[in-house]
């Protein structure tokens, strides 16, 4: 029994090429790559350039670009450069071709939210896409299609909540709440402002998460992101050492941060027992995703998953107990996968 099917060589090659091109473009990304236009203003006798975008509700929003000098004019020229526009169009075509060959894409309404947050700088400031959308992204990274656990309606984002200054210049702040409001999609914040719910789609939520610290379950606010996050136990495992990858959407590729797959898999085992009784369906999905990833990783990256297994067990009795509970239930649900035997073999090879 296997919980995934491998992509064709053509699909794997298509995604690899797109991912490289999208990430290279993202490294060079600036305000000139965003939809909108430039406007020059004269203030106290000096000329300055602003970048302006019209929101869906018709409001014109401007952000400062720089003085009217050579560097700013070069940025403006880049925005008007036909070659740059052709390069962006080529990325869209490459993404659609990869989807046609069998790679996984994300729903347009989800892509719209993720892309807007990416444009606002959430991922550049250390934000991480977690939850099922990360699980979907692993399909393209690993070149496989999961047989279960891929259905999703909500979007989960996480941030470590600390050291934001390492990612953001001192004079820059991100307004995550305003960015969500600018979508004009009907998202309403909950009382704690850690989640945004869509009134006409009760299952389409935007959840913002972080690791649990000394403050317990008290929401964590990061003023420089204008964001409040809900702490969760064991979340730090997914937040450590994330990777960059590309999501496929009809509107074009979106480069995001996601957890490393082995960390995601073991985190799902850990949180299985944390789900309340009313979330048994989500708990089963946690195990389905962990099982699919471990089925792949124990064949292709067995040492990495075994080393992380040792690390997690060394973090204390609470970690060991939860990991063991999730693993035992996974064995019960997927008896034909021989997870225990394969993991034991990998653990025996850990230095």
pLDDT at position 63:
60
- What pLDDT sits at residue 165? 45
Q: When comparing pLDDT for 121 and 112, which is higher? A: 112
- C-alpha distances in angstroms, 84 versus 25, 33, 60, 76, 77? 10, 9, 25, 12, 10
Contact call for residues 283 and 329 (beta carbons, < 8 A)? no
| DSSP-derived secondary structure for 89-151 | HHHHHHHHHHHHTT-----HHHHHHHHHHHHHTTTTTT-EEETHHHHHHHHHHHTEEESSS--
The percent of residues in the chain predicted with pLDDT above 70, rounded, is 86
pLDDT at 26: 82
- Whether the per-residue pLDDT at 169 is higher than 50: the answer is no
Q: Tally the domains of the chain.
A: 1
The pLDDT score that the predictor gives to residue 241 is: 86
What's residue 56's pLDDT? 45
pLDDT in tens, 28-44: 665 555 566 778 888 77
Please check whether residue 165 lies inside any domain of the structure.
Answer: no
When mean pLDDT is compared across 35-39, 43-47, 186-190, 316-320, the lowest value belongs to 35-39
From CA 126, how far away is CA 163, in angstroms rounded?
9
Q: Which secondary-structure segment (H or E) carries 332? A: helix 317-333
Report how far residue 91's alpha carbon sits from residue 253's, in angstroms, rounded to the nearest whole number: 7
Euclidean distance between CA atoms 95 and 248, whole angstroms? 6
Per-residue pLDDT, averaged over 161-187, amounts to 69
User: Does 339 map to a domain?
Assistant: yes
In a domain, 308, yes or no: yes
List the one residue out of 183, 203, 178 whose CA is nearest residue 193.
Answer: 178
Which position has the higher pLDDT, 310 or 75? Answer: 310
Least confident of 1-15, 53-67, 101-115: 53-67
CB within 8 A of 92, min separation 6: which ones?
251, 252, 253
* Residue 59, pLDDT score: 60
pLDDT digit string (tens) for 197-229?
Answer: 988 887 889 999 999 888 788 999 888 788 999
Question: What confidence score (pLDDT) does residue 341 get?
Answer: 96
Averaged pLDDT for residues 285-308: 96
> Using an 8 Å Cβ cutoff, are 98 and 248 in contact?
yes
**Is 199 a domain residue?**
no
Copy the structure tokens of residue 29: 């990304």
Span 325-343, pLDDT tens digits:
999 999 999 999 999 999 9
Q: Establish if 266 belongs to a structural domain.
A: yes
Comparison of pLDDT for 172 and 313, the residue scoring more: 313
Residue 288 lies in a domain: yes
- Residue 11, pLDDT > 90, answer yes
Beta-strand pair 227-232/220-222 = antiparallel
76 inside domain = no
The string of pLDDT tens digits covering residues 123-168 is 888 899 998 999 999 999 999 999 987 776 789 999 887 654 444 4
| DSSP notation for 210-241 | EE--TTTTS-EEEGGGTEEEEEETTHHHHHSS
Position 291 in a domain:
yes
Residue 289 lies in domain: 260-351
Of the CA atoms within 13 Å of residue 39, those in its CB half-sphere come to 12
């Amino acid at each position: 029994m296997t919980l995934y099917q491998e992509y064709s060589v053509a699909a794997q090659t298509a995604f690899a090429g797109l991912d490289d091109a999208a990430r290279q473009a993202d490294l060079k990304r600036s305000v000139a790559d965003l939809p909108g236009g430039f406007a020059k203003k004269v203030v106290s006798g000096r000329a300055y350039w602003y970048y302006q975008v019209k929101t869906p509700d018709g409001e014109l929003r401007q952000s400062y670009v720089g003085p009217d000098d050579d560097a700013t004019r070069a940025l403006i020229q880049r925005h008007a450069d036909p070659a740059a526009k052709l390069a962006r169009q080529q990325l869209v075509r490459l993404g659609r071709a990869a989807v046609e060959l069998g790679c996984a894409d994300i729903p347009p309404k989800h892509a719209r939210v993720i892309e807007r947050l990416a444009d606002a700088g959430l991922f550049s400031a250390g934000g991480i896409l977690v939850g099922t959308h990360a699980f979907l992204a692993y399909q393209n990274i690993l070149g496989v299609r999961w047989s279960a656990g891929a259905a999703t309606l909500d979007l989960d984002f996480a941030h470590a909540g600390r050291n934001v200054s390492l990612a953001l210049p001192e004079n820059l702040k991100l307004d995550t709440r305003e960015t969500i409001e600018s979508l004009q999609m009907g998202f309403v914040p909950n009382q704690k402002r850690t989640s945004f719910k869509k009134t006409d789609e009760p299952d389409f939520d935007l959840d913002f998460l972080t690791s649990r610290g000394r403050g317990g379950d008290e929401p964590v606010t990061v003023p420089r992101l204008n964001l409040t996050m809900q702490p969760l136990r064991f979340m730090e495992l997914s937040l450590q050492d994330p990777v960059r990858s590309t999501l496929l959407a009809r509107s074009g590729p979106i480069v995001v941060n996601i957890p490393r797959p082995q960390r995601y898999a073991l985190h799902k085992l850990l949180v299985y027992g944390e789900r309340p009784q009313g979330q048994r369906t989500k708990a089963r999905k946690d195990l389905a995703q962990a099982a699919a990833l471990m089925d792949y990783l124990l064949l292709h990256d067995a040492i990495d998953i075994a080393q992380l297994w040792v690390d997690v067990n060394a973090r204390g009795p609470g970690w060991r107990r939860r990991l063991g509970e999730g693993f035992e239930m996974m064995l019960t649900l997927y008896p034909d996968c021989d997870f225990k035997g394969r993991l034991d073999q990998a653990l025996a090879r850990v230095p």
